[in-house]
Amino acid sequence: MKIEILGCSGSVAQGYNTTSILLNDSVLLDAGSAASVLPEERLRGIRHILLTHAHIDHVKELPFILEALYSQTDHDVTVWGSANTIEALRDNIFNGVIWPRVAELNRAKALVSFRTAPDDGFAADGLAVETIRTEHIPGSLGYLVTDGPSKVMFSGDTGLAPDLFHLVKSLEGSLKALFVEVSFPDRMEAFAKLTMHLTPSLLGTGLAGLAPTPARVFAYHIKPRYLDEVVAELPPNVAYITGGEVFRF
């Protein structure tokens, strides 16, 4: 599986883009930055968009991604998310006020469809996708993505997420990589808990119960203003990403 980190920061700052991760050139996980990072011809290759939740750092470029796809491609694009996420997009962004109701602009066939991600998983352009409920906000999801022998997990914004760590444990080391959000430094633990995010110590607690741990663990969604502090506090077996990285698992 090819994984391109287009952006993965927990906020917008100069040089830092919010979350958009491109899988195998055609499946986009979250829509925080792809339109401003990818050239148009690569945007046109996107066929599925998996949304973890509707917070603006994860959806803010969705209107512009869909605009590029809608105007220049003939293939279907499916936007997946929980029922809460799809409803929030319809009511608050694609509502005819903030942005057009894009699903109603479809031409002869449905070029853009919004679909509720089924609990028992779905296929997206050759990838098998399973959803993981997280505690961040109602309807927030993580995704477990399988491509042949490679399994990779993206936590989305999580909160403490015991279900996520139980699932990691149940995979018994078959997970090639875990991308997990860490947003705030340890000194902000109370605020992190209030906003349902992780700190390095809270991540360490979640990882402590895992044996064996996934081959590689990457912290992402770090708030840029706290980057140096968070990186200094990460558990020793956890790397971090800030955007621009490319992996093959």
Q: Which residues bind Zn ion (CB under 5 A)?
A: 55, 57, 157
CA distance 99 to 92: 9
Considering the complex, state which of residue 48 and residue 55 has its C-beta at the smaller distance from Zn ion. Answer: 55
Half-sphere exposure of 156 (CA within 13 A, CB side): 33
CA distance 29 to 152: 12
- As measured in angstroms, the least distance from the Cβ of 225 to Zn ion is 14
Considering the complex, state which of residue 169 and residue 221 has its C-beta at the smaller distance from Zn ion. Answer: 221
Residue of 191, 194, 180, 187 lying closest to 222 (CA atoms): 180
- As measured in angstroms, the least distance from the Cβ of 157 to Zn ion is 4
What residue is closest to Zn ion based on CB? 55
- As measured in angstroms, the least distance from the Cβ of 75 to Zn ion is 29
Q: Long-range pairs for 163-166 at CB < 8 Å and ≥24 separation?
A: 163/132, 163/133, 163/134, 164/132, 164/134, 164/206, 165/206, 165/207, 165/209, 165/210
Considering the complex, state which of residue 48 and residue 221 has its C-beta at the smaller distance from Zn ion. Answer: 221
- Beta-bridged to residue 180, according to DSSP, are 219
Considering the complex, state which of residue 55 and residue 169 has its C-beta at the smaller distance from Zn ion. Answer: 55
- As measured in angstroms, the least distance from the Cβ of 33 to Zn ion is 12
